[in-house]
Chains A and B, each alone.
Chain A
């Protein structure tokens, strides 16, 4: 198994073929991250562990935003209809 790659190996990759397939993944992941960060910023005064959630959303790709949306939206205003 080859572990070390040099900068020259970048030229050998067929970027067009890779991008055709990988672009939807990147777009979906980015949209999820942006929505999660937007929601976190909007409710920054009501959430606990804002910094921790920012790190989780940014660095745990696709799982991070999902976790935030499902279990991170706690501690909202008590008078909201659903918390």
Chain B
């Protein structure tokens, strides 16, 4: 039972993180390799603020979300928009964005590594104390409960927004055919900025919540999570909201099984192995529809 609680908590962290990557990749075709850096650096910003003054939970979360959104917007404007403007076709643009994201991600990482000397940092200066509830023989921390609730609500809200609202429709239209969407009067640039900001905010949110529940993270934590989030998205199918949730909880479950059955150091291989298996057996993912060919 305790394992199940852990799976749900871990899966919710993965979901929050992967959701941000999934909405940009599934709609505006941006696989943002800076996402891990945003995750880490917004937490790091909160940590810096907390070194000055002690704050309760809500302002800390807010700092994380705002810094994440701001960083994501900045990357979109200075890097990805410039790449898209210059690239001659979609395929080169995709690869350039991947490489550009890796390049941009080095900068916040370098700053954080310099400031912390690559040591772990946490949010323990916050006035919010993580509580623990014990029901029978199950332990649930308050932050774990909060993470699960936030992740599920945010995921549902995003899914409904994409499915039901006019903006969501416009965004999905871009994902299917950007040119036709533009002809229908959709402002691609503005929607892309909104999407990137939302994605960055989710990265910041997941960073703060993850750090609260784990105690501390290292500047390099973002990189590992990036590959795991990729596994979640691939597993469920790119662009599928149901898929990313399935992927996140499935990965968490698989990792927990491996963690409890083996000595522990094979856990990292689970996500990499999953990526491999899915790409080989079912490249479109479990819930993915066949990709629309546009050539």
A is bound by B: no
The chain B residues found within 8 Å of chain A, CB to CB, are none
The chain A residues found within 8 Å of chain B, CB to CB, are none
